[in-house]
Structure 1
Amino acid sequence: MKIRAAVINEAGQNYQIETLQLAEMQPDEVLVKMVASGMCMSDETIRKGGLGVPFPMVPGHEGSGIVEKVGGNVKSFQVGDHVVMSYAYCGQCPSCRTGHPAICNDWSELNLAGVREDGSHTFYKEDGTQVGNFYGHSSFVTHSLTHESNLTKVDEDLDLRLIGPLGCGFLTGSGTVINGLQPTVGSSIAVFGTGAVGLAAMMAAKIQGCSTIIAVDIHDSRLEIAKSLGATHVINSKITDPIEKVNEITNGLGVNYAVDTTGVGPVMKTALTVVAKGGTFAPIAVSENSLEFNPTFDLILMNKSIKGVIMGDGVPQLSIPQLAEFYREGRFAFDQLVKYYSFEDINQAAADSVNGSVIKPILIMDESYSV
């Protein structure tokens, strides 16, 4: 089967829309016709050569589409199902069986190796060159082969052009708060960085009942969006010292929780500093930068914690429908953060995401789709 895909042939190159051959379906696979896909900063990390993913490859991991065919061993899906894509997991290891598939023992192999579990590829160029996938599927394509664990069924009245980003960016931000930090009602939180992940964390904090929600960024336009989505206070850290301002807001106590989505070393240190005694800091950006601190003075004497959270510690098949329901209720207005692009304009969409002019670009693969 021939498909169209956005291929990165070498690290640092732009996306190239190419015709690829899709491999034959295996019994445990599902064929999905892609309707749309969000673009995530992880895709930009991949494009530049990060995470060790082999080239050539097809990125994308926030896809949404319609099931066209199912393998003989597939039990959970049927033709016509509307689905959102997320990460792959084995379902058998201790992490998976205790409700934490985001730290599956085989996570790296299933999501970053670029091949199926048996080592074969799903994508091939017309000359036979093997092309790697991402997250066990790749969503920057017109059709994809994937596994049941990658898919979450969603109601057909939800707009498939919109909801793909629930599979990663918005899941990561919201899940960090809901599943990772689990803030108590009336508590305080500061979110550093108001991109898709940060704003999702902030909206989740409001849903969880935090009474003080502080958004920190260097762009006034994004801080205005944060205020409209529930931030009780905003700080432009280019103009105002965030440590002083947080202390002012909290009467010198600091915040119970802090989340950093920037991955910038000094920003992460600031986020840790503003956490109150007994509080918790979650640095969740994919970053090569380090965080330096003194365990005695920065953690022990203050009884602070640093908590790592990957993919919001979410079970996609539970968290994605939960976020969709929050959206229906008007409590998770992620639709205000997106801009749509045609598939062919993927490089412009990527550039707009990197320069910050667009919070969440979404590529449309199937222009004929309608709700």
Structure 2
Amino acid sequence: MQMTAALSRGPESPFTLETVQIDDPRPDEILVRIVATGLCHTDLFTKSLLPQTVGACLFGHEGAGIVEAVGSEITHIVPGHHVLLSVRSCGVCRQCIDGHRAYCERSHQLNSAGVRTDGSSPIHQNGAPIRAAYFGQSSFAQYAITTVDNTVVIDPAVNLAVVAPLGCGFQTGAGAVLNMLRPEPDSTFVVFGAGSVGFAAILAARTAGVTTIVAVDPVAERRKLAEEFGAVTIDPATDNIVDAVRAATDGGSAHSLDTTGIGAVINQGVASLRARGTLAVVGLGAREVPLNIADIMLNGKTVRGCIEGDSDVTTFIPRLVELFNAGSFPIDRLVTPYAFSDINQAVADQTSGKVIKPVLLW
């Protein structure tokens, strides 16, 4: 079947809308008509890493849509179901069996290889395969081939354009708080970087009843919105971040989250922890960061990595949808819609900080 897709043809080139062909679903696959897809920093980060010689790539991993067709082996998902798409996991490795599907031992093969597990691509152009199957979906297109493990059925009354980012960005921030850090109501929580992941973390901390929430971000508009959500804000351009965090949290944060991936910011996060505090890191950026090990050891501090909010998408995404429906997780205030034809403008606006979460609509 022919469809339109937003292809990447190199790390520096813009996305281009082009006609491609998508396979019919195999017995264990699902064909989803995409309604909306969130634009995530991970899409752009991965795009920047792949050399020009890789050829055309189809990204997109926060898809939301309606099931068009299912393979013969699929029983509990049927055409017409409204679904959110997320990260794949095998379900049978040690991590998956232990309930940590975000750390699936086959994650790279299932999500980042650019092909199905048998080496084929579900997307072609003029007979040539396109690097696709990104996060088991490649949803920067009108349709996507997905699988049971990354396709979550949701209430059809929910606005797909709002909840699409639950597939990754919003899930990552909220899950880091609710699944990993788990702050107590009388505890303190600090987020470094108030983008889509950071704001989802702020909203999650609110749902957990945390009364002291701090947001560190250089963009005035984002600080203003964080204050509307009940956070104390810090401007890194004018404030001494470590001192300001300690002042706002009565001596240091118990729970912190870095969304920036910037080494200097990560170190500020560690330094501003109280004794036995924890910093979770979710930002893609610096591969190596020097840390003050003496400070970490002598004060019992913890630095933890966190992928996809440490969540099982099949249970955590429905939980977040319920919180949104209940009015306690107002992610609609974070989303800005764009037509897919305006994808490059959405990239520019996200990069500049003009918007928090662009969502692309067909």
Q: CA deviation at 1:132?
A: 2.6
- What's 2:84 paired with? 84
- What's 1:307 paired with? 304
- What's 2:66 paired with? 66
Q: CA deviation at 1:247?
A: 2.1
Query: CA–CA distance in 2 between the matches of 1:54 and 1:108?
Result: 17
**Is 1:320–2:317 an aligned residue pair?**
yes
1:105 partner letter: E
Q: How do 1:195-344 and structure 2 match up within 5 A? A: 195-231=195-231, 233-251=232-250, 253-295=251-293, 297-344=294-341
Query: CA–CA distance in 1 between the matches of 2:236 and 2:86?
Result: 33
Q: How do 1:55-204 and structure 2 match up within 5 A? A: 55-204=55-204
Q: CA deviation at 1:229?
A: 1.8
Determine what percentage of the aligned residue pairs are the same residue: 37
User: Of the candidates 353, 357, 363, which is equivalent to residue 354 of structure 2?
Assistant: 357
Q: Report SS of the residue matched to 2:222.
A: helix
Would the alpha carbon gap of residues 78 and 6 (structure 1) be closer, same or farther in structure 2, given more than 3 Å must change?
same
Q: Report SS of the residue matched to 1:194.
A: coil
Q: Report SS of the residue matched to 2:162.
A: coil
Q: CA deviation at 1:21?
A: 0.8
Moved more, 167-176 or 17-26: 17-26
Q: CA deviation at 1:155?
A: 0.2
Query: CA–CA distance in 2 between the matches of 1:266 and 1:51?
Result: 28
Query: CA–CA distance in 1 between the matches of 2:328 and 2:218?
Result: 25
Q: Report SS of the residue matched to 2:57.
A: coil
Give TM-score, length-normalised by structure 2: 0.97
CA offsets, 1:335-355, max 9 Å, x none?
111111111111111111111
Moved more, 237-246 or 284-293: 284-293
Q: Report SS of the residue matched to 2:279.
A: strand
Moved more, 6-15 or 25-34: 6-15
Kept in 2, the 8 Å contact 1:123–1:131? The answer is yes
Query: CA–CA distance in 2 between the matches of 1:325 and 1:163?
Result: 11
Would the alpha carbon gap of residues 53 and 96 (structure 1) be closer, same or farther in structure 2, given more than 3 Å must change?
farther
Query: CA–CA distance in 2 between the matches of 1:138 and 1:20?
Result: 13
Query: CA–CA distance in 2 between the matches of 1:87 and 1:209?
Result: 28
Q: CA deviation at 1:127?
A: 4.4
Query: CA–CA distance in 1 between the matches of 2:35 and 2:15?
Result: 19
Q: CA deviation at 1:25?
A: 2.0
Query: CA–CA distance in 1 between the matches of 2:17 and 2:60?
Result: 13
Query: CA–CA distance in 2 between the matches of 1:352 and 1:291?
Result: 28
Kept in 2, the 8 Å contact 1:46–1:53? The answer is no
- What's 1:369 paired with? none
Q: CA RMSD in A?
A: 1.6
1:3 partner letter: M
Q: CA deviation at 1:281?
A: 0.7
Kept in 2, the 8 Å contact 1:31–1:70? The answer is yes
**Is 1:11–2:11 an aligned residue pair?**
yes
Give TM-score, length-normalised by structure 1: 0.94
Q: Report SS of the residue matched to 2:135.
A: coil
Q: Report SS of the residue matched to 2:136.
A: coil
Kept in 1, the 8 Å contact 2:35–2:361? The answer is yes
Q: How do 1:42-61 and structure 2 match up within 5 A? A: 42-49=42-49, 54-61=54-61
Query: CA–CA distance in 2 between the matches of 1:9 and 1:31?
Result: 25
1:325 partner letter: E
1:243 partner letter: V
Equivalent pairs, count = 362
Q: Report SS of the residue matched to 1:244.
A: helix
Give the unaligned 5+ runs of structure 1.
366-371
CA offsets, 1:221-280, max 9 Å, x none?
10011111231x1111111111111222233x2010111111111111001101000110
Q: Report SS of the residue matched to 1:259.
A: strand
Give the unaligned 5+ runs of structure 2.
none
Query: CA–CA distance in 1 between the matches of 2:51 and 2:174?
Result: 23
Query: CA–CA distance in 1 between the matches of 2:226 and 2:165?
Result: 18
Q: Report SS of the residue matched to 2:76.
A: coil
